[in-house]
Amino acid sequence: MTEQKTIRHPEIGDISLDCDVLVAPDADLRLVTYTAAAGTTDAGKLDLLRVTGGRTATTPP
């Protein structure tokens, strides 16, 4: 089941993501994934977070 989630980053702003929950059969195990459609502004924001580790120019290391 896919749901749409919006996450607000304090410096990058809102990021709209698809949220999928994958369930392992016969186990009490769930994997939650958040993805953005390729080529969208939201995908670009995720790429920026991946590269910067969430730090922007105004955030000290």
- Give residue 15's pLDDT: 95
In this predicted model, what pLDDT tens digit does every residue of 17-39 receive, in sequence order?
A: 999 999 998 899 999 999 999 99
The answer to the question of residue 13 being in a domain is yes
Residue 32 lies in a domain: yes
Question: How many domains does the chain contain in total?
Answer: 1
Place 52 in a pLDDT band, splitting at 50, 70 and 90: confident
Please give the order of strands across the beta sheet that includes 30-35: 2-9, 13-23, 30-35
Say if 30 falls within a structural domain: yes
pLDDT at 57: 63
Q: Residue 23 belongs to what H/E stretch?
A: strand 13-23
Look up the pTM and report it: 0.70
In the chain, the amino acid numbered 61 is P
- pLDDT value for 42: 96
